[in-house]
Structure formats: structure tokens, C-alpha cells
Structure 1
Amino acid sequence: MDGQGQSGDQESERLKALRNFHFLQQKAVTTAVVGILEQIDSLDSVDSRSVSPGPSRNVLSEEHEPLDMSDGPGRIKSLAQMEPSTFHELVSWLTENTDLAKSKRRRGRLTPDEKVLIFLYITTRAASYRNAAELFNYSLETISTTFHQVLDALCVLCRHTVRIPSFEYSEKALGGKSEFWPYFKGCLGALDAVYIPISATSDQHPAWRNPKNVVSQNVLAACDFDMNFTYIFAGMEGSTQDSRVFLTAREKDNTFRLSSNCYFLADAGFSSKSRLLLIPYREVSYHPQGPQQPANHPANSRELFNIRHATLRSVIDRTLKLFRRRFRLLTTAREGFSIRTQVNLVFALAAVHNFINQRQGLDLDGEFEDEDDRDDDTWKTSPIVDDFDGNLMIRKRDMIAKELWEQSQRSTS
């Protein structure tokens, strides 16, 4: 009996010890899980963020108040690539006119200032999500969600800032320049197509590959003489001819409408039949040079017209180069982005480009970092003919050339 009782007591002690072990094990697991969750929360917590490493003061406010422009304006300018006052105006417009201020996150809610700053940091520096996550101390998921939220908001801004001007703009821009006015009356700016690198699946590469063997989209862009975009048509495959992109825009985009007697300047890769475009004479030099003909001294009306045309049309080249210099993300394909996202980026960044120009003017210091990868002798291509308007612009070109030549002859006699 004593042996059986002793054995029963030992079994009871073992069960008790086993229960205590399981209890302590469960408690340890619970404690570990709580610790991990607290570490995750600390990554997204408001108090642990700093946009610059080291002991320097945070650029962003810890209380989620709007950015204090006196608090590190140099850092804000560096990250956003714009003046702090312009950044503040941009955030204010997006907050008042879009859903940018709304957030699905329950904790550590981002302010509109932070959201826009994250987006601009990625697009101006071609930074990865991981770089942004490390700099701003947010998770990759938060960075991705924020990027797309700001992208959608800026597409709304694009509809307000990228607009074709009215007929009156022509005189405002050219009226004080006797070499162009009134000959180019009704000219609203210049238009061209530009290749923007794009990421696509391997089976899509043939359609998106441009003549330079780069997978890209062919974007139609127009600008005014102040280097503001007035029209954008993005999303066409890189293999598409420029004139086909133009015709598709006319057919599918109801916003691509010009006032009566208005037009854009374009290169000879486009058709001369459209009433919306004034192109140069093909196979006629833009910059005549030779033993009998000094530079910039044209021999006839066609050469003179091409020189004046080229001078005005160069604004689109400068605008596109500035555009890609400001937003380095446009110079490289980003893996992981959908085609729709990459197309919308062009619209969104065109809106920011105009917003900067209209608030703080142009900063053209330094040389442009990239050159367009198109041939200068674009007249060698065969533009798709748009004969809807017949020879209207051909006759207009001949008339302008004649008037320019007559004025030139009078001034030299």
C-alpha cells in the first residue's frame, strides 16, 4: 500500500510539473509574440521616424502637424527637389481637392506632407521602395500604398494643370518678338513624341521595343513657350510610329482639341496634312552653312522658315529634357510596376512639373543630363498621312515663309 501511495504521489508531481512547464512555455511564446508585435509597431510609430540619419533634428513633425518650413527647409528641398513653399502649396492643393488626407492605416497614420515627400523622393531620385522604407522608417507595404495614393491624387492635379491654352496665348507669348509675330499667329507651342523606358513582361517586349531596341512607351507631349506641358498622351507601345501616336490621340482623346486657327509646331516626322500641326519643309536645312552661305543666313524663304520654325520648336526638346532631369524615375524602367502605373506616372509627373514652373519658375542651371534618342533627320521616316484637313497647313506654311522672306529682304535693303 505504501509503495502504491508513493507511486501515485510521484505521478501527481510529474503531472503538476508538466502542467507548469506547458504554462511557462505558453507564457514565453506569448511574451515573444508580443515583443515582435511591439517591434513591428515601433517601425511605424510616429516617435521613431527620422528622414535623415544621425542626431540631426527630424524634418517631419512628430505630432503629425503640417511641415514647418522653417524646420530644415534645405532637407525638404533636397528630398522633394522643389522649394519648401512650393511643396507646401502642392500638399495643400492635393489635401483640399483629392482623397490624399484619407488613410486606411489604423496606427501611425501618415500626414499628407509625408506622403507627398515619399513620392517625390522616389520619383526625383529613382529610389527603390526599400531605400524609401529605410529613410522614412516605414514598411515596404506602407511605402507602396503611399506611392500609389499620391500617384492617384496627382493624376487629378494633371487634369487641372495640363491644359491646352486658348488663342490669346499666342500673342501673349510671341507678340513682343518681331522675328515671330505676327507670322506665327495662333501657334500655341510645340509637340513631339518621346520614348520613356517601361517595364513589361518578356512576351510584351516586341510591341514595346522602340527603334533603338529599348523597351519603352511612346509618349506624345505638347508644351507652351513657358515650358509647361499643355497636352500628354501616354501608353502607346515604343514600336508605334510618332504620327500613329498622334492620330490615335486625335481619335481616342476628346480633350485633344484646339481653338480655331490654333496649332502646334512639330518636326517633319509628323504629317503635314493635319490642321493641328505646322511642320518644316522636308530636305531643307535648318542651319544653312557653306562657302557662299554663312551660318544662319538663309538663301531662300524655305530655309528662313525652317530656321525660325526650329528656334520656336526647340522649346519642346528643352522641356522634355528638363522633365527627365527633374524626375529620374522616367529615365529607367522600374521592375514591379504595372504598365498602368508606369503610364499614370507620366501624367502625374507632368502635373508636378507644371506646378513647379508656375510657382517658382525654371531652374535651367547646368547642362541637361540626357539626350533624346531619336535621329535628327526625322524627315527620312514616312509619316502616316492624315488628310482630314487637306493642304490647309501646307498653304499656311508657304504664306508664312513668303512673309518672313519679304520682311527679311526689306530689313537688309
Structure 2
Amino acid sequence: MEGSETPNTYALAHRALSSKRSLRRKSIHWWFNVQTWFMNTILWMFVALSTRCRRTQRIRYIIDNYSKREGFFKRLVHGPEANCISQLRMSRVAFLKLCDMLVTNGGLKPTKHMIVEEQVAIFLLVLSHHRKNRTLITEFQRSGRTISTCVAKVLHAVLQLHSILFAKPKAITMDCNDDRWGIFQNCVGALDGTYIDVHVSPKDHNRFRSRKGDIATNVLGVCNPQMQFIYVFPGWEGSAADGRVLRDALTRRFRVPQGCYYLVDGGYANCEGFLAPYRGQRYHLSEWQNNNNPHNVHEYFNMKHSQARNVIERGFGLLKNRWAILRSASWYPIRMSCRIIVACALLHNFIRREHDIDPMEDEEIEEDEDDDEEDEEENFGGVDLCPTEAWTAFREDLAPEMYNAWMA
């Protein structure tokens, strides 16, 4: 009996040992699962906390940007009136009226994140101070792409106002009280050309190089006696003669009202619709200073002609003084630069209509006086601007009439 019990005892002992080992393995496996769950929980909590912190920082960044943007805009538009005029070139009332016109007539619309007033303010800062994108990014807390898109949209809207903001030609009548213009019956204003620097590709430098040596576009400007622009035509190369630019303008939208005329300098022909001074006689205003009175009929005519026609030179000077972007070449493509020139003229007219006294006229204006050398007569086709006997006779009749009235 005793010999038969020994194997059973061994088997029971082996079974007990195996059970303990199995229990130990289960305990280790359970503990490993607990540790894994615990580590995963800690990792998940860390990720969740980090995400929340980043989201909070993003929200704070957005709120901070909005506060800076709103603060800058309020100081710009709703701060002191003098600051608004200095920065945007117009009063607060005029600015808000312009925004309304751009929405109503120009098709400008607010975006999801930018109101119309902010868009217009950015555009005016670009024109008035030639602000660069990197500066506006900091001031308005906007991306460079947003700034560029904004400028393009507002520019398009301003150009849509051309039929409203360009002055309509109005002939001088006998009841005119302005001594400079009263003697030029049926005259509607003055015209001239000016150079505005632009950036073009190096291969086009020779074509756009003006006689002053600058890379520029030759801009034809026409204004009325109130110094509001009637017509502006940019785009021609700086090497182009003024007469050639005028010929091209006459094949487009520019028209001289029937029976009327514009005052032009000696660089243009004295022909129908364009009254030029006598060549070979004193003409520019500086030549009549210090009691240098005219000595004959032709000199008196030139003096009065220069006094009236000076409005276009002052107009160009005021335009460039008001909009700094016209005083140096911008990096915009030539097509957009020409559109900006027209927009500057339109906004110039708007400001002169909305302000009883133009705020920029108090500042010293460098008049855009140019030489008046006669352009070489070339056959460019289209409109003939050669001197005519009829128009020469008109000037010969007008000059003595003016001189006799002065001597009487």
C-alpha cells in the first residue's frame, strides 16, 4: 500500500506547483494590463491637455490680433479729424460717404472677416503714403495675400465710379467772375502731359525712358478751372511725344465739346479745339514776376493764357502731393499702375467736391511745370492735329481784344 501511494503524492505536488505558476502568470499579465491602461490614460490626458492649451493660445492669438486691428482702425478713422485727413486724405464724413458710394455704385462688398471700411482704409493708405504690404500686415494684422486682394477689389470699385467722379466739361460764359478765365469764352479747361514713374521689364526701359531720363509713363491730364480732372489717359511710354498721346486719346473716349476748346502749352499745335500760346514770346508765370509787364499784344496774350492754363500744372502738382504712390515707381505691373493713376485722379475729384477747402492746398505744392518744346510733327494716323488757318485767325482776333481791354 505504501509503495502505491508515492506516485499519487508526486502527481498532486506537481499539479499544485503548476497551479501556482499559472496563477502567477495571470497575476503578471493582469498587472501588465493595468500598467498599460494607466500609461495610455496618462498619455491621452497629456494629448488632450496639450490640444486644449494650443487651442486656447490660438484663440488668444486671434483675439489679440482682432484687438490690435480694431484699435488701429479706430485711431485711423474715428480718432482726431486731423489724423484722419493726414492718413486717408479726407475727413471722416467724406470717408464714410466714399465707402457708401463704393458699395452702392462700385459693387464693393464686405467679406466674412473684413468690413468695407477697413478695405477702403487699406487702399487709401497704399495710395496716400505708398504703404508696402509688409507694413500693412503689421498695422492691420492681415496676411499679405489678404492685403493684395483687398487693394485689387477696392481699385476695381473706384474705377467703376468714373462716370460719377470725372468732371463734366462746362464752357466758360460771359458771366464768369474769375479774371483768369473770363476772357476765354467757351473754354472748358486746360490739358497737358506729365511723367509718372513706373516699373517695367528691362527690355522696355528704352521705350519708357522720358526725356528727363526716368522710366515713366506719359500721362495726359485734362482738368477744368476748378482743378477737377475731366479726363486722364496713362499708359503711353515716357519716350512718346505729348502730341502723339493726345492723338491717341482723341481716337478713344476723349472729346472736345462742339464749339469749345482747351488751353494747351507750346508743345501742342494751335488747332481746332486746342488754343496754344505764341511761340518765341515770354510765357511761363515766372517770367512775369517783379513787375515784368507784357510789352505787346502777343506777350499779354501769353501771360493771360499762362495764368489760366497753370491750373493743369497745379492740378498735377496737387495730385502727386496728395498721393505718394505717384511720386515714385511702385512695384505693381504697368497695367495696374495705370489703373491706380486713374483712381488717384477720381479720388482727387471726390475730395475736392466733399471739402469746401482742399486740405492739401494749404501745403506747398510743387507745380508740374514742363518745357513746352514743340513736338515733331509725325503722321501717326487717326486725328489730324496740325495748325490751321482758321484757328490762327481765331487767336489773332482774340489777342488784340484782350490787350485793348487791358489798356483801356
- When Rg is computed on C-alpha atoms for both structures, the one with the higher figure is 2
Amino acid at match of 1:284: Q
**Offset at residue 46 of structure 1 (A):** 6.2
SS of 1:246's equivalent?
A: helix
Q: How does 1:60-209 map to 2 (within 5 A)?
A: 72-100=80-108, 102-105=109-112, 108-110=113-115, 112-166=116-170, 169-171=171-173, 175-177=176-178, 181-182=182-183, 184-209=184-209
Cα separation, 2, equivalents of 1:91 and 1:389: 43
Cα distance between partner residues in 2 of 1:204 and 1:10 = 81
Partner of 1:321: 317
Distance in 2 (alpha carbons) for counterparts of 1:143 and 1:407: 55
Q: Against the structure 1 CA distance between its residues 394 and 188, is the aligned structure 2 distance closer, same or farther, given a 3 Å change threshold?
A: farther
Give, as a single letter, the amino acid of the residue that structure 2 aligns with 1:50.
G
- Deviations for 1:356-401, whole angstroms, at most 9, x for unmatched residues? 1112143422312x454x752423x424467955767553344334
Shift of 1:150: 1.7
CA contact (8 A) 1:155 1:348 kept: yes
| C-alpha distance in structure 1 between counterparts of 2:237 and 2:406, whole Å | 48
How much has 1:18 moved relative to structure 2? 6.5
Native 8 Å contact 2:277 2:302 kept in 1: yes
| Cα deviations by residue, 1:202-247 (Å, 9 ceiling, x for unpaired) | 3333333322222222211100010000001122222222222112
8 Å CA contact 1:305, 1:401 repeated in 2: no
Say if 2:62 is the partner of 1:41.
yes
Deviation at 1:82, TM superposition (A): 1.6
What residue in structure 1 maps to residue 3 of structure 2?
none
Structure-2 change in CA distance of 1:39 and 1:181 (3 Å):
same
Q: Which amino acid aligns with 1:41?
A: I
Letter in 2 for 1:338: P
CA pair 155-410 structure 1, distance change in 2 beyond 3 A: closer
- Percent pairwise identity: 25
Which ranges in structure 1 are unaligned for 5 or more consecutive residues?
A: 53-57, 61-66
- 8 Å contact 1:79–1:117 — kept in the other structure? no
- TM-score, normalised to structure 2, is 0.80
Q: Which amino acid aligns with 1:99?
A: G
CA drift of 1:180 comes to: 5.1
Match of 1:356 in 2: 351
Note if contact 1:270-1:384 (Cα within 8 Å) is conserved in structure 2: no
> Aligned pair in 2 of structure 1 residues 128, 88: CA closer, same or farther (>3 Å)?
same
Number of the residue aligned with 1:298: 295
SS in 2 for 1:191: strand
Give the TM-score of the pair, scaled to structure 1.
0.79
Q: How far apart in 1 are the matches of 2:299 and 2:38?
A: 101
